[in-house]
Amino acid sequence: MAAVCEFAYQVLTSEAGLKDITCIENVLISLKKLVPLLGYMKESSYEDLQGFDKYRHVCEKAEIYQKGTIIDNKPVSLEQMHNPVVHRLFIAIIKLITFVSKYANKKHRHISKICREYSSLLNEHAREIILFKCLKIPTDEVKIVVMECLVQINIMEIDPDELAQFVRLLTAYNNIGAGKVIEVTL
């Protein structure tokens, strides 16, 4: 799954991809407008319409490569997620969300219309809440891509409740500048 998302991101951000609206539409539509990907980053209490818990599925598959994603037959919380396989997937998904959010804000780009549509759709499916929760993952690499993504989201799409949650998360950190997180520039 991570490889598919990474490949899609490479296609979208390539020089040829950025010039071809059909290519962008095809990639984003083939990923079902990115909305189903959000489910992989939601902790276990969530099940999609078919009763499929995507986060649990990711944890079960990642357990094959590194133990510690399933404890007592339950997926670990995001705060306990130390598996680099899961981190790689989250980073790949977040980069795709960043692409859509970034180009939704561009004024004169041929791709801004489709990206605005998909950004709005992601917003309706709790994109910011999910991203804020991903800041709990104990790796700087995930935190950095989350912050890079949040910077690209149109401020008009961030609800007061989402902003309040973000402030609560920030106040919970003792030293947000520790490690690589210091590299994030706003």
Question: If you write DSSP's letter for every residue of 26-69 in order, what string do you get?
Answer: HHHHHTGGGHHHHGGGS-TT---TTS--HHHHHHHHHHTTSS-S
Residue of 12 and 106 predicted with greater confidence: 12
Task: Please state, rounded to an integer, the average pLDDT across all residues of the chain.
Answer: 86
CB-based contacts of 177, cutoff 8 Å, min separation 6:
none
Long-range CB contacts for residues 59-63, cutoff 8 Å, separation at least 24: 59/83, 59/86, 61/85, 62/86
Reference 104, options 87, 88, 123; nearest CA is 123
Q: CA torsion sign, 9 to 11 to 17 to 23?
A: negative
Sign, Cα dihedral of 66, 5, 120, 185: positive
pLDDT tens digit sequence for 24-61: 999 999 999 899 999 999 986 555 555 578 999 999 99
pLDDT digits (tens, 9 = 90+) for 117-130: 999 999 999 899 99
* DSSP H stretches of helix in the chain: 2-13, 15-19, 21-30, 35-38, 54-63, 84-104, 112-124, 127-134, 140-152, 160-172
Whether 184 and 148 have beta carbons less than 8 Å apart is answered as yes
d(CA 147, CA 170): 12
Tokens of 13: 């951000």
Residue type, 95: K
How many whole angstroms separate alpha carbon 103 and alpha carbon 153?
A: 10
Q: What is the mean pLDDT of residues 67-78?
A: 94
Residue range 10-18: mean pLDDT, rounded = 94
pLDDT digits (tens, 9 = 90+) for 150-173: 989 987 787 788 777 777 766 665
Q: Where are the domains of the chain?
A: 2-183
Q: pLDDT at residue 97 above 90?
A: yes
pLDDT band at 146 (very low <50, low <70, confident <90, very high): very high
